[in-house]
Chains A and B, each alone.
Chain A
């Protein structure tokens, strides 16, 4: 989709054109879902939250002035929703005296491999690695997680990550360095266990 087509689509969306909205959802659904899933680590939570992201887009499309790319704006909404959901899940777990390990986030934080990890003889190694990496991601704090997701999974530039997070490029780089270091530590811990 060219920039001009996208602008036209957004203009139509601002006019409450449902077909334009559905086109945008169809086009960006996987990107949004992927970001949200990597942030939350739970497919059900991710699906629900990704839907909320698009509803937020619809509600707030008038505030999109085209100063950044639409996909950047959309990703910022997805990241902010994800961080809020993580806070909510953590608070809910605390309110209910529910062990944090029982929440999707907690499962990743406190049980990175354990019984949840499929046995190697049942699953391919790639699947194990995927699971281990997702668990390690879940063990990062949300600020570190977001830069890893945006840079290493979404392949965004430092400028785009800065637009989304509000950080300078230098801060993004140093934070990413520390996030990757922490991720390496988490993975090492899992495999040492």
Chain B
């Protein structure tokens, strides 16, 4: 049992509070009112408490200053430096890094494009040669046979994209490497004669000294610097059927591609 300088025990204090709060049953209330009439000191205490309660409850509400919300917002931002809120973080921390990343990617892409103009041309040339190989000359075997002259056949057909590339010139991913030799074999049209190879040899020799031309019976082998391969294919690869292409890595293989033109 607790008392203080009022000398009133907890039980009595709770009864008084219940009476003031109207939380007594009728019986309890009647009993308490009887106690009040018998005890003038209790009566005075009760009245004093009631008046005190009245004064406290009459206190006006104190309102926060007008700029309170703004001040809180400012304090949060200052302390968190934008970490508390999503969009704050977006604008204060993420965006600069994202912008930096985009700019860096753009610069790298630009540098790559400027440094490999031949690659783009090479790809275009290959596509052109590929189209010709697919279409084939008049009277040539059907497209499927043309794509799979080595009988890569069903295996290649089932391999989807790989199959499509089986009879095509080197895709960009296997563009000439310094240790590889790329070999192309073109078959001249069926109505071409032996002198067509001679003419081609003359034409090649007249065009550039960079091409090493070797004439043998029914064949014309040309060694082309790999860097010039795309231009070569553009200038001389048109009108012929691409019969075979292999990529090898011979010992001492260098920066060259070998192209063979063969009579039908």
A interface residues, Cβ below 8 angstroms from B: 15-18, 21-22, 25-26, 29-30, 32-34, 37-38, 43, 46-47, 50-51, 54-55, 58, 129-130, 133-134, 148, 152-153, 170, 173-174, 176-178, 180-181, 183-184, 187
Contacts and interface: CB of A to CB of B under 8 A. Distances in A.
Interface of chain B: mostly helix, strand, loop or mixed: helix
A178 B88 CA distance: 49
A85 to B, nearest CB: 16
30 contacts: A18-B85, A18-B86, A22-B73, A25-B69, A29-B64, A34-B62, A34-B63, A38-B62, A46-B62, A47-B64, A47-B68, A51-B71, A58-B76, A130-B60, A133-B55, A133-B56, A148-B56, A152-B53, A152-B56, A153-B57, A173-B13, A173-B14, A173-B17, A174-B10, A174-B14, A177-B16, A178-B13, A180-B53, A181-B8, A183-B56
Nearest to A15: B86
A34 B61 contact: yes
Contacts of A152: 53, 56-57
Contacts of B85: 16-18, 21
Interface string B56-94: 111111111100110111011001000011111000000
B12 to A, nearest CB: 9
Contacts of A174: 2, 10, 13-14, 17
Contacts of A58: 76, 84
Contacts of B8: 177, 181
B179 interface: no
Given A34-B62, A152-B56, A181-B4, 7 more contacts: A18-B73, A38-B59, A47-B65, A129-B58, A177-B13, A180-B56, A183-B52
A33 B63 contact: yes
Contact of B68 (A16, A21, A33): A33
Contacts of A18: 73, 84-88
A54 B84 CA distance: 13
A51 B14 CA distance: 36
Contact of B55 (A32, A38, A173, A187): A187
B5 to A, nearest CB: 8
* Interface core residue of B13, B48, B72 (most chain A CB under 10 Å): B72
A25 B57 contact: no
Given A16-B84, A152-B57, A37 B62 contact: yes
Contact of A50 (B18, B58, B64): B64
Contacts of A187: 52, 55
B72 A51 contact: yes
A170 B14 contact: yes
